Amino acid sequence: MKRVLIFSLAYYPHVGGAEVAVKEITDRIKDIEFHMVTMNFGGEANEEKIGNVFVHRVGNGSSYLHKILFIPRAAAAAARLHREHHFDAFWAMMSYMLFPIVLLRFMGLRNPYLLTLQEGDPWEHMFSRWFILPFRPLLSIGFKNASAVQTISTYLAEWSHRMGYQGLTSIIPNGVDVALFTRGQHQVLAKKEGDTILVSTSRLVHKNALDDVIRALKFLPEHIRFVNYGFGPDKEKLQKLAEATGVANRVSLLPHPGVPELPPYLKAVDIFIRPSRSEGMGNSFIEAMAASLPVIATQEGGIADFLFDAKRNPNKETTGWAVDHDSPEQIAKAVKDILNNLDQVARVTATAKKLVAEKYDWNLIANKIHTLFSGIFGRI
Query: Residues 208-218: what's their mean pLDDT?
Result: 98
Give pLDDT tens digits for 255-287. 999 888 999 999 999 999 999 999 999 999 999
* 37 membership: H or E segment, kind and range: strand 32-39
Alpha-carbon gap, residue 146 to 217, rounded angstroms: 46
Q: So what's the pLDDT on residue 16? A: 81
Distances (CA, A) of 166 to 143, 151, 157: 9, 14, 12
**Which residue, 236, 176, 196, is CA-closest to 338?**
196
Q: So what's the pLDDT on residue 185? A: 61
Residue 333 has pLDDT above 90, yes or no: yes
* Helix, strand and coil in the chain, % to nearest 5: 45, 15, 40
Distances (CA, A) of 75 to 81, 140, 272, 287: 10, 18, 41, 35
Alpha-carbon gap, residue 159 to 83, rounded angstroms: 33
Neighbours of 225 (CB within 10 A): 22
Q: So what's the pLDDT on residue 73? A: 97
Report angle CA 44, 50, 54 to the nearest 5 degrees. Answer: 90
Give pLDDT tens digits for 106-138. 999 999 999 999 998 888 989 999 989 999 999
Altogether, the residues listed in the chain come to a count of 380
Give pLDDT tens digits for 65-99. 999 999 999 999 999 999 999 999 999 999 999 99
Query: Residues 293-314: what's their mean pLDDT?
Result: 97
Q: Which residue has the higher pLDDT, 349 or 179?
A: 349
Query: Residues 293-317: what's their mean pLDDT?
Result: 97
| Per-residue pLDDT band at 64 (split at 50, 70, 90) | confident
| Per-residue pLDDT band at 187 (split at 50, 70, 90) | low
Query: Residues 333-357: what's their mean pLDDT?
Result: 97
Q: So what's the pLDDT on residue 186? A: 60
Q: Do 335 and 271 form a contact (C-beta atoms < 8 A)? A: yes
Q: So what's the pLDDT on residue 330? A: 98
Residue 170 has pLDDT above 90, yes or no: yes
Q: So what's the pLDDT on residue 259? A: 86
Query: Residues 165-176: what's their mean pLDDT?
Result: 95
Alpha-carbon gap, residue 341 to 34, rounded angstroms: 48
Q: Determine the 3-state secondary structure of 322 from DSSP.
A: strand
Q: How far is CA 375 from the centre of its chain?
A: 25
> Domains, the chain, ranges and CATH?
2-175+361-377 (3.40.50.2000), 178-359 (3.40.50.2000)
Report angle CA 121, 126, 127 to the nearest 5 degrees. Answer: 150
Query: Residues 282-295: what's their mean pLDDT?
Result: 96
Report angle CA 335, 338, 341 to the nearest 5 degrees. Answer: 145
Q: So what's the pLDDT on residue 14? A: 85
Query: Residues 232-247: what's their mean pLDDT?
Result: 97
β-partners of residue 36 are 6, 55
Stretch among 6-15, 33-42, 242-251 having the lowest mean pLDDT: 6-15
Q: What is the mean pLDDT of the chain?
A: 94
Q: So what's the pLDDT on residue 191? A: 78
Backbone φ/ψ region at 270: left (φ over 0), alpha (ψ -120 to 50), beta: alpha
Q: 162: which residues sit within 8 A by CB, 6+ positions away?
A: 123
Give pLDDT tens digits for 357-369. 999 999 999 999 9
Query: Residues 146-156: what's their mean pLDDT?
Result: 96
Neighbours of 69 (CB within 10 A): 15
